[in-house]
């Protein structure tokens, strides 16, 4: 398997090479850093937590939300209060991101802190995510076995609300408004307006504000070429280096799904909307690429794939071959694909196609 630590680095703020943010399905909480206690009880909790803020090392149950408290999390109290947040760009949810979550879980309740609306604010051209929004919860849940049987939760913040914060202001937000107990970041992590803060400054500021900071090494790939590189740029990417979302995107574009699997730590799952009328017993399902919810591999023929009807995962995946071209995606299988059809041929459903 792949070795090393993790690097969730990349510039979270203004940067000439725009990263794509993964949006988190139903596993995230969104905040614009406007936190208002909505009841006297919650106000008292916030005051209590401000008098006894987290210390380092952080205990495992630091500010844990108990099972006997059905009101939490609700508006007015930060859902990540007392947790350990991983900082980075979580488009691909690759093994480097997973390592961040693992390190966070060793200290407390693990969260991924993501930023949304960056493309709109900075005027970047939209592009398909690597992980479909509706599929992120499944991926994070699959990490629980690595994280002490706790599935990390994704917490989203509007980028517009933090874009102009300098490094100190950003850490102050983490401490005083989100009330996190600690952060985990990669060794090359940069943050603050125009990426003016680095990992060393993050550690210093976290110490100043009384929260823990864990900086970890980069996860490196296997430095092993899988087949013939299709471009010079791709060949360079496949030399030994850091696992990154950029590597995943290039590997997908090259159709190297085995390499993608190594980088993700799981098969790439493509999600598509479909109608029940698209599912026939003829052994072929044809879908338009416009129905895809995330990034497909490059044009080509892919053997040894699996087809899953989302929401009906109790059934075994169906072996299939997938043909991808610019406008269409064709799924060929020798098995009958059965779907529940309650209201006729117009019923919408989700299909998952796993590669490799």
Contact predicate 333/283, CB 8 Å:
yes
Contact predicate 100/140, CB 8 Å:
no
Return the CATH class of domain 78-266.
alpha beta
* Backbone dihedral angles phi then psi of residue 2, each to the nearest 5 degrees: -80, 155
Contact predicate 35/76, CB 8 Å:
yes
pLDDT value at position 207?
A: 97
Q: Let me know how many helices (H) and strands (E) the chain has, helices first.
A: 9, 14
Going by C-alpha positions, the residue among 333, 326, 257, 252 that lies closest to residue 288 is 326
- Mean pLDDT, 10 residues at a time, the chain of 356 residues: 33 33 34 35 38 42 37 62 95 97 97 88 88 97 97 93 94 95 95 92 97 95 54 58 92 95 97 84 86 97 94 83 95 80 64 94
Nearest 5°: CA angle at 109, between 105 and 110? 60
Q: Across the strands, what pairs with 155?
A: 29, 113
pLDDT value at position 76?
A: 61
Token output for 338? 């059965």
pLDDT value at position 40?
A: 37
Angle, helices 245-253 vs 257-264, to 10°: value is: 160
pTM over 0.85: no
210: left (phi over 0), alpha (psi -120 to 50) or beta: left
* Backbone dihedral angles phi then psi of residue 103, each to the nearest 5 degrees: -65, -40
Token output for 242? 């850091």
State the Rg of the chain over Cα. Answer: 22
Helix then strand then coil, in percent of the chain rounded to 5, is 30, 25, 50
Token output for 103? 């390190």
Token output for 214? 């864990």
Q: Give the count of alpha carbons within 13 A of 88, CB side only.
A: 33
Inter-CA distances, 234 with 80, 226, 252, Å: 38, 11, 11
Token output for 302? 């892919």
- For the chain, what are the domain ranges? 78-266, 267-355
Name the one residue in this structure whose structure tokens are 């092993």.
224
């Amino acid at each position: 398997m792949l070795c090393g630590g993790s690097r969730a680095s990349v510039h979270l703020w203004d940067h000439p090479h725009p990263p794509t943010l993964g949006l988190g399905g139903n596993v995230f909480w969104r905040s614009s850093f406007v936190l208002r206690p909505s009841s006297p009880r919650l106000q008292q909790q916030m005051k209590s937590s401000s008098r006894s803020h987290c210390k380092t090392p952080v205990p495992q149950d630091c500010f844990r939300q108990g099972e006997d408290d059905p009101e939490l999390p609700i508006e007015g109290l930060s859902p990540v209060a007392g947790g350990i947040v991983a900082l980075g760009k979580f488009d691909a949810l690759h093994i480097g991101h997973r390592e961040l979550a693992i390190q966070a879980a060793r200290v407390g309740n693990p969260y991924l802190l993501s930023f949304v609306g960056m493309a709109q604010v900075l005027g970047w051209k939209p592009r398909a995510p690597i992980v479909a929004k509706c599929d992120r919860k499944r991926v994070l849940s699959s990490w629980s076995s690595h994280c002490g049987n706790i599935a990390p939760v994704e917490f989203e913040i509007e980028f517009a609300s933090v874009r102009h914060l300098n490094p100190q202001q950003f850490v102050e937000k983490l401490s005083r408004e989100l009330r996190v107990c600690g952060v985990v970041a990669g060794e090359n992590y940069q943050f603050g307006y125009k990426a003016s803060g680095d990992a060393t400054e993050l550690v210093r500021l976290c110490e100043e504000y009384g929260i823990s900071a864990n900086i970890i090494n980069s996860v490196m790939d296997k430095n092993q070429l899988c087949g013939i590189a299709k471009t010079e740029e791709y060949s360079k990417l496949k030399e030994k280096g850091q696992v990154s979302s950029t590597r995943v995107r290039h590997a997908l574009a090259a159709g190297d799904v085995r390499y993608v699997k190594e980088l993700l730590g799981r098969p790439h799952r493509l999600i598509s909307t479909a109608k029940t009328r698209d599912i026939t017993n003829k052994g072929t399902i044809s879908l338009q690429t416009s129905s895809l919810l995330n990034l497909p591999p490059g044009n080509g023929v892919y053997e040894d794939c699996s087809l899953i009807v989302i929401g009906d995962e109790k059934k075994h995946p169906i072996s299939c071959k997938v043909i991808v071209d610019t406008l269409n995606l064709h799924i060929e299988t020798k098995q009958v694909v059965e779907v529940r059809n309650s209201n006729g041929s117009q019923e919408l459903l989700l299909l998952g196609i796993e590669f490799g």
